[in-house]
Chains A and B, each alone.
Chain A
Amino acid sequence: MRVPLGWLRDYVHFDLAPDALAERLTLLGFEVKGLERWGAEWRNVVVGELLTVEKHPRADRLSLTTVRVGPGEPLQIVCGARNIAPGQRVPVALPGALLPGNRAIERTEKMGIVSNGMLCSGDELRLSVDGEGILILPADTIVGTALTDLYGDWVLDVDVKPNRGDALCLVGLAREVAAATGGVARFPVVALREDGPPIGDVLGVTVEDPELCPRFVARRVDGVRVAPSPEHVQRRLLAAGMRPVSNVVDATNFVMLELGKPTHAFDAACVARDASGRAVLVVRTARDGERLETLDHVARTLTPDTLLIADADGPLAIAGVMGGAASEVGAATQDVIIESAVFDPVSIRRTAFRYALRSEASLRFEKGQESRLARIGADRVAELIVAWSGGRAASGRVDTDPDESAPARVGYRPARVDRLLGTDLGPEAQAALLARVGIGTEPSMPGSEIVIAAGSMPLSVHAAPGEARDAVVPSWRRDILVEADLAEEVVRLAGYETVVGKTPDTAMPHVRPNPLELRDALRAALAGAGLTEVVTPALVAPGQAAALGWPVLAADGVAGEIAIDGPAVTVTNPLSERHSVLRSGLVGSLLDVLALNERHGRGDVAIFEVGKGYAKAPDGAPAEWWRLGLLLAGSSGAPAWNRPARPYDLDDAKGIVELLARVLSRSEPVWSPYTDGAPLHPGRAARATAPGSLAGIVGELHPSVLATWDLRTERVLVAELAIRGLSAGQLPPVRVTPVGRAQPAERDLALVVAEGVPAADLAATLRSAAGERLRELALFDIYRGAPLAPGEKSLAWRVVFAADERVLADDEVDAEVARLISAAVAAHGARLRS
């Protein structure tokens, strides 16, 4: 809320510089987001006296003036306005001036005559909405005064939190300033002369739905003259960020800003009369299909739960949200009906959202309104209309519920307040603090109820004798409902800075396993291996999953990390189509990252992400699961002058997956061909399985996918893995195998097999044929070509055997190797390469 300090001073006295006041308000919970020098824009604009006004010799519509702005020579200025005359005081923009909107004023020539500046309208200075005539200043204004000194002000932009609707106005903030400075806030005194007819003769109100409209107060002022508001009123409204409209409408806006009370003025001529000639307003919900053209000139079809102000002929206004165009106060209006009501906050909020009409009024209504303000608001608006527009106020007011309830009493226990805050204030100091915002305190009745929690989870206890006090809460403080609210009020007024911090010395919880331990270990391992971690948006374009075709792996072998191959979860109110669906996997996002970096000329990309996939389960419930994705493209390793660049290939990706399997379970994953096609190169895709710990797909992307993503690179390696414990898990401790003292025996073994025999199958055969003495089995070479026949390949293995405590004899090792060879012969038709 914009708070012009000159206006605020009407309600409270303070001896603080604007920035000091801003800090005090911030520390009181009313954060000042901005401090603006209103009028700082009027550089080089001064008060001038018109000495002469003559017709421009060459232009009928221009005047030639001389203006005195100080002791020097009068200035000759050409002006287009008609409302000027000698002797008037006017704002003069001198050459070099800069007006609002960055409008620079220079010495110019107009129709052959030099103009040394410009006479300004109120609109040009944003001092009023009058753009027609020059702003005529009071006759006693001192010539030569800078306009900033005359009308400048400081304006605070105060962030009023949703629970403090009472402070969404100048009087409310004045109360806070008073609490901060020890001063006294002054409520405006309403002095309304009621010399019109009795209200009952000219106005009637029927509230059909008192639940939605607990109080409706109305007044009537007849014989007004609708015109612009007085200039000082326009100045205040503009400084507060509100555009002046007319003296009647401005009166309602002025009171809204002053008291926080939204009201509405109807043109009484547009309200239907009953048989006795009284205008009669009806407060009711809309009937199906009813229509209303609102003030913004949009014709709206109303829904049945919309609360209306209507008359016998139909809707006049959407209650608390926006008036109707037909009953709008305009230049021809003579008689005005003032509505000042209390509406149900939830109803107003829903209605404002439904019609996308969140107005200054609805914002205040939806925070709840103090009942008392309905009466005061009506009186104040009527007073201001009479003062600014003339007219005679009808005597008395229509009021559907004049009983203003007694202040609320909220019980609290001073010791509990100190216990919550960690302070040692005691009952008297607390009471003194509360008194600063008008909260009185009294000893409670014995056994009185202390409300701990309200709302959807209420809880009350009975206070022990002498333990509790009652806070007597002013009617405007609708936010104070439970004991903790008073604790906040106490510490707020004492100053949060008075709470002396200490390190917690209460009991420590037991040690708990860190659910992120395993995930963090894998992330550290991948970063250590040269991959860069990325974090990408979970919301993706709806077509992404189809464009990629990556399978959602149920990952049965990896306990606790199940994914759902179900419909995507879609955002129903997305900010953009590009981010409207929760992704089912990570690979598409990694491709987006590659594409972005390629566009920046960066083709060497090695990245990973640990993130979630999402889908709807068959029962419609949301499912989320963790996956690890990685992508390699371009050259492996950092390029350097002394190392030739080598493009990433499938083995690089597999090596990384093997690293992960080692970190996870000290095991090697088993590779098998992945043949389900989809987004992968049909000959370069593998399923990785490390039973119980890891499962996923590693492969080179199909060239058609690269085209879809508009990628320049020829090959992209990707993997997506389900990993046990990725959602929450720890790494198992390493279990050590004793290191044998005897020297192991190492042999090389080259086996020739058909091309179609996967190395992993041969390895499995060798492994199962070997006895417990096998320590290592590693593929170290693959050879194709002469003297092998076409369609043959030679796989060379290094095998290491050892016994625990002795060196193996040559014939023992020979026997081990022979067993491997015969197993390979039997299973795969292998032969030993000589």
Chain B
Amino acid sequence: MSEDVLFQLNGVSKHFVRGKEEISIFDNLDMSIERGDFLAIMGPSGSGKTTLLNMLGGVDQPSGGEIHFDGSRVDNLRESELTRWRAHNIGFIFQFYNLMPMLNAARNVELPLLLTKLSRAQRRVSVETALALVGLNDRARHMPNQLSGGQQQRVAIARAIVSDPNLILCDEPTGDLDRKTADEILEMLQLLNREHGKTIVMVTHDPEAARYAKRTVHLDKGRFEQREVAA
């Protein structure tokens, strides 16, 4: 395995059992994601894009095959080990932001840092840096319901990067935003990828959004239909 490969999927499959019927989402899927990549995963509803993303993030387990992260196998880790692994390596960005409604922006951003040994003062500095990066320093004390959708997603991005993870997983990050705001968010992700070297995997329906990625893969009927490199 090349040292540049961050994620390697070998023969990964995912099946659901509904009643007596076994439903296959995908079978024998191979894939590799290199460090510094910005990958968009596209495909129709039900194609398994989000399932794949959840498996990369360790919140869902494959039915078969192996997933390696940074040279180590992660699909067979126990729940508690996966939780620690996620805390150290993954930043999540969700379609509906998933901010904690009863915490202000700064406290939301601070959440991943509570899993570290940083002191309160160190955490405050990191939160301020992350919020500055997404241009929301002046909204640190605002509650989520006092922020627009775009601002909430920027807080979510700050939360995803505050602990400096290797990988950022985005599930339809612009699905709930208007075009202009969506472009701002995508530019921010692109900046994180290009300037800060973050590896980003983004699931999206939106071809416009996919254009911001370095490459796009299409998942349909359990297979990658085609691979292309974005401009």
Q: Do A and B bind each other?
A: no
Chain B interface (Cβ < 8 Å from any Cβ of A): none
